[in-house]
């Protein structure tokens, strides 16, 4: 695979200390220091310097990063994107803290995506010599890694085409209005073997719906809830099992109002996995197979 993963999400928060408490104490991420107005965090099973960046001042997405296998891939992507008509610019090493050279892509849906091949290597918390299988002492949700994100924009179909035609992504699932009109409401895209690294939904240009962290299993979702009760973390939706992606999940907010998700289960994708189609008449089950109902805030709150 050429795009390896969603490498980082960079969001604004109203208060750095409040948000740090959330990402470090509630989610259990490792604090990786501050640089200017930003603080950095990583999951216990991540090897690179950070996967979450919070920046003081407001709420909402600043940018996202995806790590690419090689400079050759990066050059190929740059050419593909130019041909596709998407604006890009080269990033120098260090423009983004601890991140090497790369390519900044201005998505048709309005977000900024940074493609890069190097971030400072830190290592996970287990090491690579006769390691243990987990960290001994859970802390908060004990999040091992960032998983995926969902962003909004006016023309998700165009950004979907950009990801598949320029960046080697595949589409696992698509939600359309109905078979006749086939208008795209949302789409789930993967570059590796998970059901999605990024998803796109029709909505306000440039916005973030949520970013999601991986958890081990459904039991960890319950454990997350027990921690939320202590930390008074506002839950937006779930726990449930999604129809789309089959993932089990709970959505919640950081103190600034950015929506987080913890997510697990789902299924394994390959390049030959057929795309699943959903129509809006089954949307409640697509969103939540378990309850088959939709709450208002889930559909209307974007940051």
Q: Toward its own copies, which CB reaches closer, 52 or 250?
A: 250
* Nearest alpha-carbon partner for 236 in 196, 296, 285: 296
CA distances in angstroms from 257 to 22, 123, 157, listed in the order given: 11, 30, 27
Among 148, 230, 237, 296, the active-site one is 148
Q: Please report how many Cα atoms fall inside a 13 Å half-sphere around the Cα of residue 195, on the Cβ side.
A: 20
Nearer residue to its own copies within complex by CB, 65 or 144: 144
Question: Is the CB of residue 35 less than 8 Å from the CB of residue 43?
Answer: no
Strand-pairing partners, residue 3, are 68
Q: Which is nearer to its own copies, 67 or 259 (CB)?
A: 67
Contact string 54-73 vs its own copies (x = CB under 8 A): -------------x-x----
Give the x/- contact pattern for its own copies in 137-176, rule: CB under 8 A. Answer: xxx----xx-------------------------------
54 vs 214, beta carbon nearer its own copies: 214
Tell me how far apart the terminal alpha carbons of the chain are, to the nearest angstrom.
31
- Cβ-contact 66, 5 below 8 angstroms: yes
> Which residues does 85 contact at the CB level (< 8 Å), separation at least 6?
none
Question: Which residues 178-237 are close enough to bind its own copies by CB under 8 A?
Answer: 192-194, 214, 216-219, 222, 225-230, 232, 234-235
Q: Is 97 a catalytic residue?
A: no
Q: What would the DSSP string read from start to end of 179-194? A: TTT--EEEEEEESSSS
DSSP for 88-99, please give it: EEEE-TTSSTTB
Judged by CB, which is closer to its own copies: 57, or 138? 138
Give the nearest distance from C-beta 206 to its own copies in angstroms. Answer: 28
Q: Is 299 one of the binding residues for its own copies (CB under 8 A)?
A: no
Report the residue number, 170 or 207, with the smaller CB distance to its own copies: 170
Tell me the angle at which helices 71-84 and 156-166 cross, rounded to the nearest 10 degrees: 140
Binding pattern for the stretch 244-283 against its own copies, x by CB under 8 A and - elsewhere:
--x-x-x--------------x-xx-xxxxxxxxxx--x-
- Is residue 122 involved in binding its own copies (CB under 8 A)? no
Task: Tell me if 47 contacts its own copies by CB under 8 A.
Answer: yes
Binding-site size for its own copies (CB under 8 A) equals: 68
- Cβ neighbors of 230 (< 8 A, separation 6 or more) are none
Can you tell me which of 57, 58, 94, 131 binds its own copies, judged by CB under 8 A? 131
Residue recorded with tokens 């928060």: 13
By CB under 8 A, which span of 51-59, 77-85, 198-206, 285-293 interacts with its own copies? 285-293
Q: Which of 12, 42, 241, 259 binds its own copies (CB under 8 A)?
A: 241
What SS3 state is found at 110? coil
Query: Which residues, in sequence order, are bridge partners of residue 119?
Result: 99
What is the C-alpha separation between 243 and 194, in angstroms, rounded?
A: 15
Contacting residues toward its own copies, per CB under 8 A: 1, 4-5, 45, 47, 67, 69, 123, 128-134, 136-139, 144-145, 192-194, 214, 216-219, 222, 225-230, 232, 234-235, 239-243, 246, 248, 250, 265, 267-268, 270-279, 282, 285-286, 289-293
**Which amino acids are annotated catalytic?**
148, 196, 210, 242, 251, 261
């Amino acid at each position: 695979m050429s795009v390896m993963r969603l490498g980082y999400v960079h969001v604004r928060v109203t208060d750095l200390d409040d948000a740090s408490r959330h990402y470090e104490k509630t989610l259990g991420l490792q604090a990786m220091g501050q640089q200017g107005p930003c603080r950095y965090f990583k999951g216990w099973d991540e090897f690179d310097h950070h996967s979450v960046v919070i920046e003081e001042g407001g709420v909402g997405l600043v940018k996202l990063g995806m790590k690419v296998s090689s400079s050759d891939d990066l050059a190929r992507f740059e050419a593909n994107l130019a041909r596709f008509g998407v604006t890009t610019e080269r990033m120098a090493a260090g423009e983004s803290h601890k991140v090497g050279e790369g390519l900044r892509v201005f998505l048709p849906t309005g977000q900024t995506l940074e493609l890069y091949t190097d971030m400072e290597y830190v290592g996970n918390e287990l090491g690579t010599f006769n390691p243990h299988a987990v960290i001994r002492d859970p802390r908060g949700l004990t999040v091992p890694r960032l998983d995926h994100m969902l962003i909004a924009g006016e023309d998700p179909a165009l950004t979907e085409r950009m990801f598949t035609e320029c960046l080697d992504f595949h589409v696992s699932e698509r939600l359309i209005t109905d078979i006749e009109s086939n208008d795209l409401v949302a789409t789930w895209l993967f570059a590796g073997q998970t059901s999605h690294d990024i998803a796109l939904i029709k909505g306000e240009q440039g916005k973030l719906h949520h970013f999601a962290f991986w958890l081990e299993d459904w039991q960890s979702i319950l454990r997350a809830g027990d921690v939320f009760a202590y930390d008074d973390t506002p839950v937006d939706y779930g726990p449930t099992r999604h129809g789309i992606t089959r993932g089990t999940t709970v959505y919640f907010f950081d103190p600034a109002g950015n929506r987080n998700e913890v997510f697990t289960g789902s299924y394994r994708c390959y390049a030959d996995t057929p795309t699943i189609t959903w129509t809006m008449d089954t949307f409640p089950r697509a969103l939540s197979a378990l309850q088959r109902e939709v709450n208002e805030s889930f559909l209307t709150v974007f940051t």
